């Protein structure tokens, strides 16, 4: 493998690792913030504003919800009917941001509510750890063991 190819591969892997770490940190820290500081309240779905495709590739439902008599627009990864009452965690301070969940839910349930499913919530941290482990091992091989990356003859 030429030096240029090794450098390009190294840059791509480092970029992927940084993106994975930053994304995971963002999701986990936001969820922990709601878990520690969030106050459980109940919102009522007033109007379904439609379904849109999010940047993560999943469908996001937009609703107009009523919280303590105030109307706001919220996006949830789950479908609800008009009139449904939904438990949410709200940060103190009057912000319109909220997360589906209850005060006694664990971090994986809250991440699943944010991402669109319990499986996704449970898989975020192990997936990120796997990517970091494999990526760092590949970086090590590129820098210090380039012979391991040579193509082997199959037959």
pLDDT of residue 55: 62
- Tell me: the pLDDT tens digits for 2-55? 778 888 888 888 898 899 889 889 888 989 999 999 899 999 999 988 887 766
pLDDT of residue 42: 92
Query: Where residue 153 falls among pLDDT bands split at 50, 70, 90?
Result: low
Alpha-carbon gap, residue 121 to 28, rounded angstroms = 10
pLDDT of residue 150: 66
Nearest to 51 by CA among 42, 61, 43, 41: 61
Nearest to 107 by CA among 131, 128, 89: 89
Structure tokens at 86: 């939904």
pLDDT of residue 87: 93
Name the pTM for this structure: 0.71
| Residue 149 pLDDT greater than 80, yes or no | no
Dmax (CA) for the chain in angstroms is 73
pLDDT of residue 146: 67
User: 50: helix, coil or strand?
Assistant: strand
Alpha-carbon gap, residue 113 to 110, rounded angstroms = 5
pLDDT of residue 46: 93
- Contacts of residues 75-80 at CB distance under 8 Å and 24 or more positions apart, as own/partner, are 76/100, 77/113, 77/114, 77/115, 77/116, 77/117, 78/113, 78/116, 79/51, 80/45, 80/48
Alpha-carbon gap, residue 20 to 144, rounded angstroms = 23
By the 8 A CB rule, do 77 and 101 touch? Answer: no
- Tell me: the pLDDT tens digits for 94-141? 667 888 999 898 888 888 888 877 777 788 888 888 988 888 888 888
- Tell me: the pLDDT tens digits for 55-104? 655 678 889 999 888 888 988 888 899 999 999 999 887 667 888 999 89
The DSSP annotation for 10-40 comes to HHHHHHHHHHHHHHHHHHHHHHHHHHHH-EE
């Amino acid at each position: 493998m030429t030096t240029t190819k090794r450098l390009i591969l190294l840059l791509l892997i480092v970029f992927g690792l940084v993106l994975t770490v930053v994304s995971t940190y963002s999701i986990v820290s936001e969820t922990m913030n709601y878990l520690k500081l969030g106050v459980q309240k109940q919102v009522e779905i007033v109007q379904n504003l439609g379904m849109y495709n999010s940047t993560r590739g999943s469908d996001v439902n937009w609703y107009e919800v009523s919280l303590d008599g105030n109307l706001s627009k919220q996006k949830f990864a789950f479908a609800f009917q008009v009139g449904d009452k939904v438990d949410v965690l709200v940060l103190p301070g009057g912000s319109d941001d909220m997360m589906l969940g209850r005060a006694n839910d664990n971090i994986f349930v809250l991440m699943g509510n944010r991402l669109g499913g319990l499986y996704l919530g449970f898989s975020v941290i192990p997936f990120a750890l796997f990517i970091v482990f494999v990526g760092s091992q590949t970086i090590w091989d590129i820098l210090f063991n380039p012979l391991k990356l040579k193509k082997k003859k199959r037959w």
